Amino acid sequence: MPSNIFQFSSPATFYPLAGRLVPWFSVIAIILIAVGLYMSFFVAPTDYKQGEGYRIIFVHVPAAWMSMLIYLVMAGWSIVGLVFNARLSAMMAQALAPTGAMFTFVALWTGAFWGKPMWGTWWVWDARITSELILLFLYLGYIALIGSIDDRRRGDRAGAILLLVGVVNIPIIYFSVEWWNTLHQGSTIKMNAQTIMDETMLVTMLIMACGFWAYSIAVALIRVRQIILQREHHASWVREIIGDQA
Query: Which of 42-51, 106-115, 154-163 bottoms out in mean pLDDT, i.e. has the lowest?
Result: 42-51
The per-residue b/e assignment along 160-193, b for 16 or more CB within 10 angstroms, e otherwise, is bebbeebbebbebbbebbeeeebebeebeeeeee
For residue 47, give the 3-state DSSP assignment. strand
Q: Of 52, 46, 96, give the one whose Cα is nearest residue 74.
A: 96
Q: Which residue has the higher pLDDT, 43 or 179?
A: 43
DSSP, res 167 = T
pLDDT band at 1 (very low <50, low <70, confident <90, very high): very low
Whether pLDDT at 19 is above 60: yes
- pLDDT at residue 241 in the model: 75
Tens of pLDDT, residue by residue over 133-192, are 999 999 999 999 999 999 999 999 999 999 999 999 999 988 876 765 665 555 555 545
Instruction: Burial-class residue 5 by CB neighbours within 10 Å (0-12, 13-18, 19+).
Output: exposed
Flag whether pLDDT at 76 surpasses 80: yes
Neighbouring-strand partners of residue 51 = 47
pLDDT (0 to 100) of residue 145: 97
- C-alpha angle 192/174/33, rounded to 5°? 85
Quick one: pLDDT at residue 181? 60
